[in-house]
Amino acid sequence: MSGSTFDVSDALPLKDVRTLRHGFGARGATGVSLTAIRPIVGFGGTALLISYAGLNAWTALVALLAVLLLVAAVFGTLASRWPVEGSVQGWARRLVGARAGFFAGWLYLCSYALFMASLAYFDVQRIFYLLGLQSPSILLANSATALVVLLATLVNFLPRAWGLALVVAAVVASLIGCVGYSVVLIAGHSSRGLADVIGQSGSQPGSEWLTGSFLVALAWASAFAFRGFELPADISEEIRDARRAVPRAMFTSLIVGGALTILAGLSIALVVPAASAETADLASNPYAASVGTTVEAVLGVGAAKLQALLIVIATFAAVSVFQIAASRTVWTMARDRELPASAWLVRVTDTRRIPRNALIVAGMIGVILPFVIDNVKTAYILQGASVAPLMLAFLIPLVGRLTSRARSTWRSGPFSLGAWAAPLTAVAALALFGLAVNSLWPREILYGTGSAKWIPAVLLVVLAAAGLLLMVWAFRGNGVHLPNRSNVNRESFEHILLAHTSTCSLCDHQAFRGDEVLWNPEAFETICIICDVDVVA
C-alpha cells in the first residue's frame, strides 16, 4: 500500500479521516520518554530512600532499572509486532482477549491518575519553597495542585511546537541538573567513599538488610523512579516507523534516564550527613527532601533553589506527558467501544488530530483527585498506591506473551529476542509480580501507622472491583456491540482514499496519504484493502 499514488481524478472520494496523525519521530519519542522518567528526581527520591533504608538504599534504583530493562526488552517485541495506541491495553487485547485488554487499560489509567495527583502536589510544595513561602495549607495546596494539573493539560491543546519545547526544556533541565550537581557534589563535597555506600547499612547484617530495609527502598524506588519509559509505545500510532522507533526509544530513555537518576542518587549518598541524624528531617520535608536539606546545607540556598526550579520544570512537563498517556488509553478503549460515551471520547480535532475529549476527561480526573490529599503523608500513600496497578497492567501482556509463545502463535516484528524471548519474559513477569506485592506490603515507615498502612492494598481492591463492574457493563450482551476484528463486516465500511497517514486496525501497518482503505466512521478505524482475517493473532 505504501507504493500507492494519489490521483485527484480517481473516482474514490478523498477523506480527511479523523484518526491520529504521525507527528513524532524517534527522537521525539525518546524525548517524551525521558521527560516522563525525570532523572533529576533522583536527588529528592534518593534522600528519602536514605531516610528509609540507610546510605546504600540507592542500590534499589539499580535493581529496579535492571527489572525495567527486562520489561522494556519484552515490550519492544510487542511494540514491534503491534505498534498500537494505548500499548499495554492493545497488546493485552490481542494476546489474552478483549476483557483482559480492558482490565489492563483500566489499571493503567488508575495508576497514572493516582501518580499525577501526588506528583503535582509535590511540585506545588517546591514552588512555595522557591517563592520563600511556608508550606501551604491543605486547601491551598490542593487548589494549587489542581491548577498545575489543569495547566499541564492545557499544554497538550497548544500547537505541537509548544509541547515539544516543554519536552526539550525538561530533558535539558534533567541533564544539566543531574550532571552538573552530581559532579559538584561528588568532586567537592563527598564525606565518604564508595565502599561506605555499597556495603551493609549501619549495624544491620547484610541478610537482614536484603529482606528488610532493601525491600522498603525498592518499594519507594518503584513509586517514583523510571516511570514512563513505555510512553513511546503508548503513542505508537503517532510515531513514524513505530515498529523500529518505539523499541529504540524505550531502551535509550531507560539507559540514559536510569544512568542519570542513579548518578544523582549516588551523589546524594556520598554527600548526605549520617542517615540516622537526618532521618526525621528528610522524611518530613515536603520540598523534595534533598533540596531542603543536603543541597542547601552543602551548596547554599541559591543552589538549592536553582535545583528546585529545574525539578519543577521537569515535573510539570512530566505531568503534561502523563496526561498524554492517560488520554491515549482512554481513546483506544473508546475506539473499542468499551467506555461510556465512546462516540464522544473517540473524536479527534480537525487539524492536529489529537483526542481532545479524551484529554478533557483525563484532565478532569487529574484536577479532582488532588482534593483527596489531606497531608503530605497522603500524597506519599497515593504515590505508593500507584505502583501495583501499573505493575499488574504491565504483567497482563507479559503473561499473554508467554502463553502465545507456548501455543506457537507468536510472530516477531523487526525487533526480536529470538530464543531468549521466553526466559526473559518469564523473569520479567515474576519480577513485576514481586514489585507489585512489595509495594502493597503494609509498612508503617512508608504509609503510616494503624489502618493507613493498608490503604494501598485496599485501594487496589476497590479499583479492581470498580474495573470489573465497568467491564460487566462494557461487555454486556456478550460484547455484541464491540468491534469484532476476527470477523470484519466490510459492508459497513466506506471505500476511501486517505488524506493523510494512518494505521491499519487489523495488521497495524502504516498507511499513507492516497492509499486505498476501508473506513468505519463509527469506530474511527481504517483497514488496508489487502488485509484479511488471517493477520489477526
Max avg pLDDT among 14-28, 121-135, 341-355, 453-467: 453-467
Q: Which pairs count as long-range contacts for 405-414, CB under 8 Å and 24+ apart, including other chains?
A: 409/537, 411/81, 411/537, 412/77, 412/80, 412/81, 413/77, 413/79, 413/80, 413/81, 413/82, 413/243, 414/80, 414/243, 414/244
3-state secondary structure of 528: strand
Q: Who has greater pLDDT, 279 or 36?
A: 36
pLDDT reported for residue 406: 72
Domains parsed from the chain with CATH numbers: 15-476 (1.20.1740.10)
Over range 150-162, report the average pLDDT. Answer: 89
Query: What is d(CA 485, CA 52) in angstroms, rounded to the nearest whole number?
Result: 50
pLDDT reported for residue 176: 92
Angle between helices 376-385 and 213-224 (to 10 degrees): 90
Question: Computed over its alpha carbons, how large is the radius of gyration of the chain?
Answer: 23
pLDDT reported for residue 11: 39
> Tell me: the pLDDT tens digits for 228-267?
999 999 988 888 888 899 999 999 999 999 999 999 999 9
pLDDT reported for residue 206: 54
Max avg pLDDT among 297-311, 407-421, 454-468: 454-468
Confidence class of residue 293 from pLDDT cuts 50, 70 and 90?
A: low
Above 90 in pLDDT, residue 39?
A: yes
Count of alpha carbons within 13 Å of 295, Cβ hemisphere only?
A: 30
Instruction: Report CA-CA distances (Å) from 183 to 119, 146, 169, 175.
Output: 27, 36, 21, 12
Q: In this structure, are residues 24 and 534 in contact, taking their beta carbons and an 8 Å threshold?
A: no
Over range 515-535, report the average pLDDT. Answer: 65
- Contacts for 395 with CB less than 8 Å, ≥ 6 apart: 429, 432, 433, 436
Write out the DSSP string of 406-470. Answer: HTT-----SS--GGGHHHHHHHHHHHHHHHHHHHHS--HHHH-SGGGGGHHHHHHHHHHHHHHHH
Query: What is d(CA 228, CA 134) in angstroms, rounded to the nearest whole number?
Result: 31
pLDDT reported for residue 449: 87
pTM assigned to the model: 0.85
Q: In this structure, are residues 260 and 41 in contact, taking their beta carbons and an 8 Å threshold?
A: no
Above 80 in pLDDT, residue 353?
A: no
> Tell me: the pLDDT tens digits for 161-185?
888 899 999 999 999 999 999 999 9
> Tell me: the pLDDT tens digits for 423-448?
999 999 999 999 999 999 999 888 98
Query: What is d(CA 116, CA 333) in angstroms, rounded to the nearest whole number?
Result: 20
Provide the CA 144 distance to its chain's centre, in angstroms: 23
